[in-house]
């Protein structure tokens, strides 16, 4: 699903979404986003312009919130992977210590055999 938050337009089709982004309607809306004060004409009251801006701002915030949610999810996945890796590292370390102990026992035994 492709959604244009600026125009409140959504489509399942990638090519029609692309066409929408190229459309005059979308470009004009985007332009009005960039220069909200310049587009103010005497027929519009100030409060109307403000309402439009707040509406667009809340849409932008909604988009950001969605992105933050995705980032938090990613972060959790990374954290889980990290914890798993740490666990594996710890068990590896323990195994290496055990192998070290066995090796020193073997060395000791072979030294004792040589002295016989
Ligand atoms: Zn649009």
- pLDDT for the residue numbered 82: 96
* Confidence category of residue 76, pLDDT binned at 50, 70, 90: very high
What's the token pair of residue 22?
A: 């190229």
Spacing, Cα 18 to ligand 1 middle (Å): 10
**Neighbouring residues of 6: CB distance < 8 A, sequence distance ≥ 6:** 26, 29, 30, 33, 56, 59
Structural domain range at position 62: 2-35+47-115
- Looking at residue 30, what is its pLDDT? 82
List pLDDT tens digits, range 22-71.
Answer: 999 988 888 887 665 545 555 555 666 677 788 888 888 999 999 999 99
Residue 40 near residue 53, CB atoms below 8 Å: no
pLDDT at 15: 92
Q: Residue 74 C-alpha to ligand 1 middle, in angstroms? A: 28
22 alpha carbon to ligand 1 midpoint, in Å?
A: 9
Q: How far apart are CA 1 and CA 67, in angstroms?
A: 16
Mean pLDDT of 75-97: 96
Per-residue model confidence (pLDDT) at position 48: 66
Let me know if residue 42 belongs to a domain.
no
Mean pLDDT of 7-29: 90
Task: Say if pTM beats, i.e. exceeds, 0.85.
Answer: no
- Ligand 1 centre to CA of 64 (Å) is 17
Q: Find the 46 Cα to ligand 1 centroid distance in Å.
A: 24
Q: How many domains does the chain have?
A: 1
- Residue 66 pLDDT: 92
Would 40 be classed as within a structural domain? Answer: no
**pLDDT in the model for residue 12:** 93
Q: Answer yes or no: is 29 within a domain.
A: yes
Q: Would the pLDDT of 1 be above 70?
A: yes
Q: Where are the beta strands (DSSP E) in 2-96?
A: 2-4, 9-11
């Amino acid at each position: 699903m492709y959604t244009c938050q600026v125009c409140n337009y959504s489509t399942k089709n990638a090519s029609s979404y692309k066409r929408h982004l190229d459309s005059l309607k979308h470009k004009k809306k985007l332009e009005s986003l960039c220069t909200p004060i310049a587009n103010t004409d005497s027929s519009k009251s100030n409060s109307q312009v403000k309402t439009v801006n707040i509406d667009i701002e809340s849409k932008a915030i909604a988009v950001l919130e969605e992105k933050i949610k995705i980032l938090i999810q990613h972060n959790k996945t990374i954290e889980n992977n990290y914890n798993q890796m740490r666990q594996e590292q710890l068990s590896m370390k323990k195994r290496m210590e055990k192998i070290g102990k066995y090796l020193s026992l073997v060395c000791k035994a072979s030294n004792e055999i040589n002295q016989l």
